[in-house]
Structure 1
Amino acid sequence: MAKSTKVIEMSSEEVAVVGPREPCPCGSGRRYKACHGKDRAPLTFVSRPFEGLPNETEWVALREIVPAAVGRARVKATGQEIVVASLLPNSVSAMKRTDGVVMLALQVQTSSGDASRDMAAALTAILQADNGSSVVGGDLGNTSRLQDLLDLSVPFLPETHANFDFWFTEDEMAKPETSAALAEFEGSIIETERIRVDLGSAFWCAFPDRTVVRWLLPHEEERSLNALARLAASDELNLGNGTRYLGAFRADGLLVPVFDVQHETPIRAFELALTTLSRLFMSSFEANAPLTSAERRARAGLVGRQLTLR
């Protein structure tokens, strides 16, 4: 006579929170939203997940634009320093290197509708893990947001890298297999250089077929779009001779204008051009008058050239 299988019922509180379309952690084989997730309050979508963090545009840049970069942050409760990276090996959410350095990735898939919440879950998990460990995701039911976990008084000032050498410890960098792994990834990295600006963040990016400047604006999308429309209507939305406005990304609640530029133009020239454009932008941003008919037409044209990331 066959033995009967004992079914263990689990409450919603006992099951980790995951994305609604992911398999339920209880092992039922059903999606979370159709299983233990149906009794949970729905997760709220946050369109601007990094708002309130130091240098918000830098967080968005590492998540959406810069292929290889790292910055440092500090855990508020313990004072522990962590490394925030654009990307980690095998697209893991976080890892603790063999030397104990905690690393958190921004270019990861998220499932809660709030990237800050997902990343806080991964950070909470990796802080408790052993050296040499990595995590994908985390328990969304037992975490706050990055804004709650990190010391917001610490400036976030990432540095761009030409490769992913920051993945490895000094001992690992001395191994031949590490050099081979880095060489394999280098071909996929778009050459990216920081442009120093007073307003937001900007990066020079060299693609095989064109070179562009991407400028991340730190203000609310709709008002930023109106400001750009005013500049476009007055033919001031450019970075000087030989440049033209291509369009804009909508990334994590911020607007990212993109300009086509000449590859051989020195970075310093764009720093000067963006200083001028930043001043014009803020004057336009602070204007209270309704858009004119010409500015409304310009705005419609800008909207038609927008692309939403993620």
Structure 2
Amino acid sequence: MGKRSRTKTRDQQRATDTVGEVGPRQPCPCGSGKRYKACHGAPGGAELFVRRPFEGIASEGDLVALRELVPAATAPVRLRDADRTVTLATLLPGATPALVRDSGEILLGLQVMHSFGDPARDLGAVLERALEADPGPVGLTGAPGDGPRIQDLLVLDEPLDITVHEDFAFWLDEDQRDDPAVRAALEQANSSVQPAARLTQVEAAWWADVGTKEHLRWVMPEPEGELLDALARLHAAGDDVLVPDSRLVGMFRAHGLLCPVWDLPVGTGPEALEDPAADFRAKLDRALADGAELTAEERSARSGLAQRQVTIRPLRDH
């Protein structure tokens, strides 16, 4: 099982191959939250670095968002070769990689502390262990080595059915809800949850309320160079404003994908973004299809956008 994915090397490269694409002070594209020079760009850093580990998954952008942006959400998934309940979860208690319930259900955590170069393999290794484990937490203590990736073990060729939660109550079994210690830990975790919502008319666009402002963070699968060209065309034309007083402030990279970020006026909310985001997506598609050379104004806009690197603090560190 998974032999083709295990031996596939077209999307794998040593960390030193990314020099020139990612600056030493920029966030490492592996999603660790560290600067590149302190992670895969460091001497002795992980030898294997998969730039786009979730490529080919139907909900690649949303999976990246669940791993990096969304506080509390779950999505049920199916095993390829077994009949057992598995649920993807953004964050588990203590950033635990997996929890096995007494019922046999497996909660597979996406926001974890480890990073061994291929998050898809890391998740596959945790899931393999969870399938054989007794009820309780499951984790990794070191690099997992060769083996199946999450794409090999789960059916991920269909869009994820994502549920966004207001808190982390999904952590608990029914018999845990009255435990004072458990409830205290849950209340502490819930205090850091910020409201979030997935837009419904476009893919992988997530609204967030961070208190002092609101954001739209949109994970886009297009090749970075082509996407920057298209965004530059729209920016130069003033066509990247979603709602009045909103602004495209920059972008960040996560697991090989570029994620533009808009600042929004407080009080905007996700519903007001639905139609504007769909209109913007149509404009972006037209700009992506435009094969003309960029004008001087568009080249200037592209340079400015490329330099606006937004740093997103990993949720698992909150």
- Tell me whether the two structures share a fold, i.e. TM-score over 0.5: yes
1:123-156 CA distance string (max 9 Å, x none): 1111110112422356622521111111234431
Bigger shift: 203-212 or 226-235? 203-212
Cα distance between partner residues in 2 of 1:117 and 1:164: 26
Task: Assess if the C-alpha contact under 8 Å between 1:121 and 1:139 holds in 2.
Answer: no
User: Which residue is equivalent to 2:106?
Assistant: 102
Code of the residue aligned with 1:269 in structure 2: it is: A
Cα distance between partner residues in 2 of 1:221 and 1:106: 24
Query: Do residues 263 (structure 1) and 254 (structure 2) align?
Result: no
Query: Do residues 163 (structure 1) and 154 (structure 2) align?
Result: no
Alignment length (residue pairs): 270
Q: CA deviation at 1:266?
A: 4.2
Cα distance between partner residues in 1 of 2:78 and 2:47: 27
Q: CA deviation at 1:157?
A: 2.1
1:247-290 CA distance string (max 9 Å, x none): 11111111111111122224222001101000001111122222
3-state DSSP of counterpart to 1:140: coil
Cα distance between partner residues in 1 of 2:234 and 2:132: 50
User: Which residue is equivalent to 2:65?
Assistant: 61
Query: Do residues 232 (structure 1) and 272 (structure 2) align?
Result: no
Code of the residue aligned with 1:191 in structure 2: it is: P
Aligned pairs for 1:211-226 (under 5 A) are 211-226=214-229
Q: Structure 2: where are the runs of 5+ without partners?
A: 1-43
3-state DSSP of counterpart to 1:306: coil
Bigger shift: 223-232 or 147-156? 147-156
Cα distance between partner residues in 1 of 2:137 and 2:268: 44
Structure with larger RCO (C-alpha < 8 A, sep 6+):
2
Cα distance between partner residues in 2 of 1:233 and 1:248: 17
User: Which residue is equivalent to 1:147?
Assistant: 151
Cα distance between partner residues in 2 of 1:244 and 1:142: 44
Query: Do residues 47 (structure 1) and 43 (structure 2) align?
Result: no
Change (3 A) 1:258 1:153: closer
User: Which residue is equivalent to 1:194?
Assistant: 198
Query: Do residues 172 (structure 1) and 196 (structure 2) align?
Result: no
Q: CA deviation at 1:243?
A: 1.0
Code of the residue aligned with 2:128 in structure 1: it is: T
Cα distance between partner residues in 2 of 1:143 and 1:181: 35
User: Which residue is equivalent to 1:284?
Assistant: 287
Code of the residue aligned with 1:69 in structure 2: it is: A
Cα distance between partner residues in 2 of 1:266 and 1:88: 27
Cα distance between partner residues in 1 of 2:186 and 2:309: 34
Highest CA radius of gyration, 1 or 2? 1
Task: Assess if the C-alpha contact under 8 Å between 1:231 and 1:281 holds in 2.
Answer: yes
TM-score (norm 2): 0.79
Change (3 A) 1:260 1:215: same
Task: Assess if the C-alpha contact under 8 Å between 1:92 and 1:136 holds in 2.
Answer: no
User: Which residue is equivalent to 1:27?
Assistant: none
TM-score (norm 1): 0.81
User: Which residue is equivalent to 1:185?
Assistant: 189
Cα distance between partner residues in 2 of 1:303 and 1:153: 32
Change (3 A) 1:181 1:188: same
Bigger shift: 143-152 or 230-239? 143-152
Task: Assess if the C-alpha contact under 8 Å between 2:84 and 2:104 holds in 1.
Answer: no
User: Which residue is equivalent to 2:131?
Assistant: 127
Task: Assess if the C-alpha contact under 8 Å between 2:252 and 2:310 holds in 1.
Answer: yes
3-state DSSP of counterpart to 2:48: coil
Q: What's the % identity of the aligned pairs? A: 38
3-state DSSP of counterpart to 1:246: strand
Query: Do residues 300 (structure 1) and 303 (structure 2) align?
Result: yes
Change (3 A) 1:195 1:154: closer
1:77-132 CA distance string (max 9 Å, x none): 11423111111111111120223210111111333311111111111111110112
Code of the residue aligned with 2:108 in structure 1: it is: L
Cα distance between partner residues in 2 of 1:75 and 1:279: 35
Code of the residue aligned with 1:189 in structure 2: it is: V
User: Which residue is equivalent to 1:246?
Assistant: 249
Cα distance between partner residues in 2 of 1:269 and 1:203: 13
User: Which residue is equivalent to 2:212?
Assistant: 209
Of 80, 83, 94, the residue aligned with 2:84 is 80
Change (3 A) 1:81 1:98: closer
